[in-house]
Structure 1
């Protein structure tokens, strides 16, 4: 669709773009990325003809773009720049109707029935129809941007050039605009070349992208270009961490400010307080911890500082557990958005708390346990007996800095230790009469202060992994023994 060959250009005697090569295919959404001063706007102006080309060539559909007349170019290419200034006092409808100029025939260039159909359609899809008779100068910057997009779409171009198209838009209208462009791309084969500042937005919408650095392309490729943390750090000069979006297979970026890398030292035991009564156990930390859990709420990998285990009756109706835990937290003024919540039918007074320092690492483990629902996960699935009181809920807090991989390692270490305790006590699955591996409703939390040098491992071959294992094993043994003694009595 558009091909750039050895392009060189800039302002007067200053060269900004140095020998750029790029090819964008028909129907592609291509994003141009780079920090301020990298040359993005200069490249955009060279493509649109606002700046003269010193060297190289730009081809549009295989022909030099300079060979097209202005009218021919306007039928193929539409431009939406950052500027929203309009010299004359036109209405919104009049601004949008200018987009039909390349398609109008005759000397008087009057709008045809088809022109009005297109104008009406683009006003509706850009959600500016109710402004149609409003003077352009009277609407907000975001509304102006949508009007100018409608004008560009009214041209019915094959190629749409966008310079920061969401610059004046809030989150809602940013996604509305980009969803609209993506739909247009997919349904009509529209080719889109867009300068974008927001790397996360670019990842979600672009098919390919180029990273511009000092007037040259450092990288051109698919969205996984944004997984190259070292490259992004070099270009943007900030700490960058990539992660996967939770629902679509695209990378998302997290920027780390320098101030957060230099925290004041603290004493682990001073960070938390434990409240326990017949209704709940509440562990509150003064600072958020990095957590991985399968709690009823706060599940997955999170940053939270409230950790709760609620008591429920043996015949608890568990049809709405998330709503129930949120309600209980609200009653006790615990912010559920910053919490991990579990539930159990065992007596909370039987909880086991172990605090230790192992190999210089401070740890806290809290376990409540019942084994009435003991299950051997390796046996054939079948309809189980009526639910009994029995859940092993484990909370592990460690004063260390884990990578995401180490979080998973540590979670495995805690699980292995729990299974070892069940084996030691010969706890059996009553349906199969084999040694249980857990209960059907176990919950496990691992929480880290993220203090100190980061460790990538926390498995059984590490001091911290062994420490987690030892403490979880000891706490689980004691908690199950308390439960068994209570059942016996």
Structure 2
């Protein structure tokens, strides 16, 4: 649809764009990325013929852009820029109707029924119908952007060029506009070439991207090219972390500010408060910890400050324990959105709490155990096992800095340590009277202060992994001894 060959050009004798080659396919959403001054808008103006080409050429549907008349270009492509200059006091409807100019015939350029039908459709699509009689100069910046998009769509172009199309838009209208464009791309084969600043938006909506740096392309390809964070740092000069979107199989990006690298270290033993009663256990840290958990609340990878376990009776059978946990936390003024939440039939006052320094790393484990909930999954159906409240809840806090990979391997090490402890001192399933070598409903959280030397692996063969296993085994023995439980032979 658009073919760029060895393109050079700019505003002066020294070209800003230097020998670019690019092919944008019919019906694709292509995003152009780069910092301010990298040449994005210059490339757009070269593509649309607003700036002279120094060398190379731009082909649109196989025809040189310089050979097309203004009317032919207007029927082929529409442009939405950041610049909003309207000299006359036009209404919104009049602005949008200008998009139909390439299709009007006759000396006086009368509007046809089709013209008005298209205008009504695009006003409805861009949610500006109620503004039709409003003076363009009197509406907000976001409303102006939507009006100018409606004008561009009114041209019924094959190609839509967008220079920061979400400029001035709030979140709601940003996603409404981009969803609209994506729908027209997919349903009508519209080709979209957009300059975007937001990497996350580009990743979510674009089919392919180009990363422009000092007038040249560093990357061209699908959005997974954006996972190359070293390239992003080179372009934007900030540290960028890449992660996967939880629902859409696309990368998303987080910027790390400079102040985060210079935060003050704190003493682990002075950084938390522990409360226990017959009803609940609550550990509150002064600073958020990096956590991985399968808690009833706060599951997954999070940054959290509150770690809670609430006591319930053995006949507890609420299909929505999350709501109960939320209500209980609100009762005790615990912000549930910053918490891991667990439920247990064990009394929180009977939990085992151990703090220890292993390999110069401070650790703390909090363990609850209720043998009446132990399960032999080989003797119970899946539904029966799922309905049983957890036998063991474990909170493991470590004063160290783990990568996400170390969080996962450390979590696995803790689970393996728990399984080993159960093998050495097995519990009995009270229903089948067989050994419960595993307790599948158990809940565990591993939480890191993220200070100190970076650790990339906490597997069971590493020193820290072995230290975690020792702590888990010790806590398991102590909780058994504390409750004076009989171990089945």
Q: TM-score, length-normalised on structure 2?
A: 0.96
In the alignment, the residues of structure 2 paired with residue 481 and residue 195 of structure 1 have an alpha-carbon distance, to the nearest angstrom, of 66
The residue that corresponds to 2:454 in the other structure is 454
Check conservation: 1:371, 1:427, Cα contact below 8 A: yes
The residue that corresponds to 2:113 in the other structure is 113
The residue that corresponds to 1:360 in the other structure is 360
Residue-by-residue CA offset, 1:82-134 (whole Å, 9 max, x unaligned): 01221111000000000001111222111100100000000001000000010
The residue that corresponds to 2:206 in the other structure is 206
Residue-by-residue CA offset, 1:175-233 (whole Å, 9 max, x unaligned): 01000000000000000000000000000000000000010001101010110011111
Check conservation: 1:74, 1:155, Cα contact below 8 A: yes
Report the alpha carbon displacement of residue 308 of structure 1 after superposing the two structures with TM: 0.5
Residue-by-residue CA offset, 1:385-435 (whole Å, 9 max, x unaligned): 997775200000000111111101111111111111111112234566554
CA change 1:278–1:25 in 2 (3 A) is same
Check conservation: 1:78, 1:159, Cα contact below 8 A: yes
Where 2:23 maps in the other structure, the secondary structure is: strand
Gaps (5+ residues) in structure 2?
none
The residue that corresponds to 1:332 in the other structure is 332
The residue that corresponds to 1:19 in the other structure is 19
Where 1:5 maps in the other structure, the secondary structure is: strand
Where 1:264 maps in the other structure, the secondary structure is: coil
Check conservation: 2:427, 2:487, Cα contact below 8 A: no
Residue-by-residue CA offset, 1:147-178 (whole Å, 9 max, x unaligned): 00000000000000000000111111110100
The residue that corresponds to 1:223 in the other structure is 223
Gaps (5+ residues) in structure 1?
none
Q: Which moved more, 1:198-207 or 1:339-348?
A: 339-348
Residue-by-residue CA offset, 1:274-301 (whole Å, 9 max, x unaligned): 1101111100111000000011111100
The answer to whether residue 50 in structure 2 is matched with residue 50 in structure 1 is yes
In the alignment, the residues of structure 1 paired with residue 82 and residue 200 of structure 2 have an alpha-carbon distance, to the nearest angstrom, of 20
CA change 1:374–1:112 in 2 (3 A) is same
Report the alpha carbon displacement of residue 14 of structure 1 after superposing the two structures with TM: 2.7
Check conservation: 1:370, 1:389, Cα contact below 8 A: no
In the alignment, the residues of structure 2 paired with residue 102 and residue 388 of structure 1 have an alpha-carbon distance, to the nearest angstrom, of 70
In the alignment, the residues of structure 2 paired with residue 434 and residue 215 of structure 1 have an alpha-carbon distance, to the nearest angstrom, of 71
Q: Which moved more, 1:316-325 or 1:160-169?
A: 316-325
Q: TM-score, length-normalised on structure 1?
A: 0.96
In the alignment, the residues of structure 2 paired with residue 431 and residue 222 of structure 1 have an alpha-carbon distance, to the nearest angstrom, of 55
The residue that corresponds to 2:154 in the other structure is 154
In the alignment, the residues of structure 2 paired with residue 321 and residue 370 of structure 1 have an alpha-carbon distance, to the nearest angstrom, of 18
In the alignment, the residues of structure 1 paired with residue 331 and residue 144 of structure 2 have an alpha-carbon distance, to the nearest angstrom, of 46
In the alignment, the residues of structure 1 paired with residue 249 and residue 275 of structure 2 have an alpha-carbon distance, to the nearest angstrom, of 41
Structural mapping, 1:61-210, within 5 Å:
61-210=61-210
CA change 1:113–1:385 in 2 (3 A) is closer
CA change 1:385–1:145 in 2 (3 A) is closer
The residue that corresponds to 1:299 in the other structure is 299
Count matched residues.
Answer: 488
Check conservation: 1:371, 1:439, Cα contact below 8 A: no
Where 1:11 maps in the other structure, the secondary structure is: coil
Structural mapping, 1:410-425, within 5 Å:
410-425=410-425
Where 2:450 maps in the other structure, the secondary structure is: coil
CA change 1:216–1:486 in 2 (3 A) is same
Check conservation: 1:371, 1:390, Cα contact below 8 A: no
CA change 1:253–1:389 in 2 (3 A) is closer
The residue that corresponds to 2:263 in the other structure is 263
Check conservation: 2:120, 2:129, Cα contact below 8 A: yes
In the alignment, the residues of structure 2 paired with residue 116 and residue 373 of structure 1 have an alpha-carbon distance, to the nearest angstrom, of 70
The residue that corresponds to 1:253 in the other structure is 253
In the alignment, the residues of structure 2 paired with residue 326 and residue 302 of structure 1 have an alpha-carbon distance, to the nearest angstrom, of 17
The answer to whether residue 303 in structure 2 is matched with residue 323 in structure 1 is no
Residue-by-residue CA offset, 1:298-336 (whole Å, 9 max, x unaligned): 110000111101111222232221111111111111111
CA change 1:385–1:234 in 2 (3 A) is closer
Where 1:14 maps in the other structure, the secondary structure is: coil
The residue that corresponds to 2:274 in the other structure is 274
The residue that corresponds to 2:28 in the other structure is 28
Alpha carbon RMSD of aligned pairs, Å? 1.8
In the alignment, the residues of structure 1 paired with residue 466 and residue 441 of structure 2 have an alpha-carbon distance, to the nearest angstrom, of 25
Residue-by-residue CA offset, 1:351-378 (whole Å, 9 max, x unaligned): 0001000010000000001122222446
The residue that corresponds to 1:241 in the other structure is 241
